[in-house]
Amino acid sequence: MALIGLILLTLLAGQLIPDARQAWYLSVWASSGLFVFVLMRKGYALVPGLWLGALMGNCLLGYDILSAFAFATGELLGAWIALRLMYRWVPDWRSLTFKADFLWFLLFPCLLNGILVGIWGIFWQRLFYPEPWPDVPVLFLSNASAVSFGVLLLSSNLLSWQKPWSWKSLITEDRDFWLFSVYVLVATTWLFWQHDPDFLGIIGLLFVLFIPMLWALTRFPVDAVYRLALLVFLLAMAATARDLGPYSGATALHPITVLQIIGIGMISIGLFAAAMIAGSSSFQVGSLRSSLPRIR
C-alpha cells in the first residue's frame, strides 16, 4: 500500500505540475513527509515500500536510476538520523500540541532533516554531475527547503489526525468552516492564478490568507485547518510552477523555493500558535478542576 500510495502521489504531482523537474518538489513533499510520519509511528514494516515508492516515483519523473536511488536513500537516511537524534535528546517527546515538543519537531525532523538531505544532494550531484560552484548554495537551499517544507506540511497533518473526528460531523455541526474554506480557496486563486509581477506577494499572503488562517485555528478544529492549508499550498505551487502568481518573477532562487521558505515560516508560526492555544485550554481546564470543591 505504501508503494502504491507514493506512486499515485507522484503521478498526481505530474498532473498538477507539467514540468517533471518542478514536479519533483511535490513528490519530495510526499516522500519526506511520509518517511518522518511512519518512523515516528514506528511503522517500520512500511519503510521498504515507501523507499521503493520514492525510487520508482523519481524514475517516473524522468530521473535516471542512479539519481532516483540517491534521492530516495537520502530522504530516508535524513529522516532516520534526525529522529534518532530527537528521541535521544528528548526521549519523552509527546505530540505537536505541546509548545516545547513542537519546537523540537521543528528543529530535528524538519530543519536538521532538510539540511542533511541538502548536503547529501550536493555531495551526490558534485560527485556524479558536477555543477558550477555558484549554483551549489542555490541547489542546497532548494533541496533542503523542499524536504523541510514537506515534513512540516504533510507530517504535521498526519500526526494531528484525530480518529473520532470526521468531515461529516464538521459539515453538519459547523457550516461556517465551509464558508471560510470557500473564501480561502477563492483568495488563493486570486493571489496565485494570475500574472501580476507588481503585486506584493508577501503582503497579500499575510493579510488575505495568513491572518485569517490564524483566526481559524481559534474557531475550527485544528486538523481541519491543517488540511485546508495543505490544499492551499498545492494550489499555490501548481500556479507558481506555471509562472503565475507573485513569486513567478526572476529571482536568484527558484520561485517554488521562495514559496517553500515563506510557507515554512508561516506554517511554523501557525503550528506554534495552535500549540499555545491547546496549552492555554488545558491550563484553563486544569485550573477549573482544581477550583471545584471536593465532595466527601
Range with the largest mean pLDDT of 37-41, 247-251, 252-256? 37-41
Pair 184, 212: CB distance under 8 Å: yes
Give the pLDDT score at 129: 66
Give the pLDDT score at 103: 95
Would you say residue 284 has pLDDT above 50? no
Q: Which amino acid is at 291?
A: S
Confidence of residue 90 (pLDDT cuts 50, 70, 90): very high
Give the pLDDT score at 294: 42
Give the pLDDT score at 132: 61
**What count of Cα atoms within 13 Å lies in the side-chain half-sphere of residue 95?**
12
Please state, in angstroms and rounded to a whole number, the distance separating the CA atoms of residues 173 and 15: 34
Three cell numbers written together for 235: 494550489
Give the pLDDT score at 221: 81
Give the pLDDT score at 281: 61
Give a three-class secondary structure readout of 83-151. Answer: HHHHHHHCCCCCCCCCHHHHHHHHHHHHHHHHHHHHHHHHHHHHHHCCCCHHHHHHHHHHHHHHHHHHH
Confidence of residue 254 (pLDDT cuts 50, 70, 90): confident
CA distances from 291 to 281, 284, 286, 288, 294 (A): 15, 11, 9, 5, 9
Question: Which has the minimum average pLDDT: 42-56, 76-90, 157-171, 255-269?
Answer: 157-171
What share of the chain has pLDDT > 90, as a percent?
25
Per-residue pLDDT, averaged over 274-294, amounts to 56
Please state, in angstroms and rounded to a whole number, the distance separating the CA atoms of residues 95 and 40: 10
Give the pLDDT score at 73: 93
Would you say residue 68 has pLDDT above 60? yes
For the segment 112-147, what is each residue's pLDDT rounded down to a tens digit? Answer: 999 999 999 888 877 766 656 557 788 888 889 999
Dihedrals φ, ψ of 43, to 5°?
-90, 60
Give the pLDDT score at 77: 95
User: What mean pLDDT, rounded, does the chain reach?
Assistant: 80
The pTM for the full model equals 0.84
Question: Computed from CA positions of residues 108, 109, 110, 112, in that sequence, does the dihedral angle turn out positive or negative?
Answer: positive
For the segment 166-199, what is each residue's pLDDT rounded down to a tens digit? Answer: 555 555 557 788 899 999 999 998 888 887 655 5
Please state, in angstroms and rounded to a whole number, the distance separating the CA atoms of residues 179 and 173: 13
Helix axes 47-60, 20-40, angle to 10 degrees: 180
Pair 52, 73: CB distance under 8 Å: no
Q: 287, 273, 258: which is closest to 213 by C-alpha?
A: 273
Dihedrals φ, ψ of 80, to 5°?
-65, -45
42: left (phi over 0), alpha (psi -120 to 50) or beta: left
Per-residue pLDDT, averaged over 35-58, amounts to 86
Range with the largest mean pLDDT of 34-43, 49-58, 129-138, 252-261? 34-43
Neighbours of 171 (CB within 10 A): 11
Per-residue pLDDT, averaged over 224-235, amounts to 88
Question: Between 247 and 183, whose confidence is greater?
Answer: 183
